[in-house]
Structure 1
């Protein structure tokens, strides 16, 4: 998977996944591709930060983490970790990483439940394309529904992760989150900012009736403040 003449990274190969897989695993869609585009736009920043530990919550097909790994291919000793509560999605992620020659660990767990303590203050890049669709109730399924059903305001799962972000990120760490306007991106930004993070919208796009937004939250402000004052 080589770069084109403009330095763009092509979409990782996921041709090994077929319609049968996508009956159980979330198929890459507009929300997936806006996150890829956002990461491409952040390429210079990411290269400058030289991240070591990259984590994707709810990896689904594994496309996003494979793309990030390729984007950071010049970074030595890169550690890629994917989690998903859906065992079929975890298997799909493993296959996608292998297909694209990415070394990574894939763990079946609810969000970061089994890793949260061990990853505290260590995550350089945290990715989350959450279940954001507004639904009347949240199913208890570990199957395909868990990839998109977000409950009231589409925030049921998202709101479990947001309070943990500042604790998980390394001093120069960054968090990329996909949301829609119905999730109230401004309120999400405020919640993260109250925990000392700097938040901005880096990309938005209309996809059917949805307005997709990618938020970027980082600890860079605190990182540079500590650097300049020490």
Structure 2
């Protein structure tokens, strides 16, 4: 079993703490079926290094796991990793998580680029991402009010720490998904065809039962010729909306 990166330095008052959804992503990405799929897709040593993007990186545990274990996952060590998060505190925490994990595993050829503070994939160059990972805010709950985001996204002038109100808002960003828990996910899915690389691009998106995964997969397959969507990981047989699945999205050659 591959080690889970340390997040002991992260303040979980305002950054999402790794939970069952995070660990399901780790288990899925390192499973025999997915490592076989990814190694076959990226096996050519003379091809360009795969660029991995995690949107909503949170504590950085998932991106750090990928960055530190590229040989096991991709069959090569020259992987590039990049993250984004709307929460600036998460960006700083995740950056340290990834750097520490690469150093601990002594994977000197795995290159961590940065964690960008931004909204979803808005800062990403079109058709540049080879592996996309998204653990969205999937809980069916009211979306946070973004009108004061700029103020809440930093420590206020003259203060030494964030307020309880700030922390509550920042955590709400990480879990509240609006109607059916799909408002943020739908926005991101609209961007997926534009950010994935044309030949090698593959995405992993986490959904809960109330997100209606079968409906989501059918919609993805309707994007056009060659698009595929399959469940490749599951939290088990839990009843209710909390049952989690990982959906792999990719495009086959025409």
Instruction: Identify the TM-score tier after normalising by the shorter chain.
Output: 0.7 to 0.9
Which one has a bigger Cα radius of gyration? 2
Instruction: Map Cα deviations across residues 79-109 of structure 1 (whole Å, 9 max, x no partner).
Output: 2110000001001101101211262311000
Q: 1:1-230 residue pairs with structure 2 within 5 A?
A: 8-17=1-10, 21-41=11-31, 42-50=34-42, 52-73=50-71, 75-101=76-102, 103-115=112-124, 118=125, 120-140=126-146, 143-170=170-197, 171-196=199-224, 197-206=227-236, 210-219=242-251, 221-222=252-253, 225=254
What is the TM-score with the length of structure 1 in the denominator? 0.84
DSSP 3-state at the match of 2:203:
strand
* C-alpha separation in 1, matches of 2:123 and 2:235: 34
Is the CA contact 1:178–1:214 (under 8 Å) kept in the aligned structure 2?
yes
Is the CA contact 2:132–2:202 (under 8 Å) kept in the aligned structure 1?
yes
Greater per-residue strand proportion:
1
Match of 1:228 in 2: none
1:139 is displaced (CA, Å) by 3.4
* C-alpha separation in 2, matches of 1:145 and 1:203: 25
* C-alpha separation in 1, matches of 2:140 and 2:231: 21
Between Structure 1 and Structure 2, how many residues are aligned?
Answer: 209
In structure 2, runs of 5+ residues without a counterpart are 43-48, 103-109, 154-169
Large movers: runs of 4+ above 6 Å: none
DSSP 3-state at the match of 1:22:
coil
DSSP 3-state at the match of 1:111:
coil
Is the CA contact 1:54–1:123 (under 8 Å) kept in the aligned structure 2?
yes
How much is the aligned-residue C-alpha RMSD, in angstroms? 1.8
Is the CA contact 2:53–2:81 (under 8 Å) kept in the aligned structure 1?
yes
In structure 1, runs of 5+ residues without a counterpart are 1-7, 226-230
DSSP 3-state at the match of 1:218:
strand
Instruction: Map Cα deviations across residues 28-72 of structure 1 (whole Å, 9 max, x no partner).
Output: 000000011110111122122226110000000001011112231
What is the TM-score with the length of structure 2 in the denominator? 0.77
DSSP 3-state at the match of 2:243:
strand
DSSP 3-state at the match of 1:203:
strand
1:15 is displaced (CA, Å) by 2.4
Match of 1:5 in 2: none
* C-alpha separation in 2, matches of 1:124 and 1:93: 20
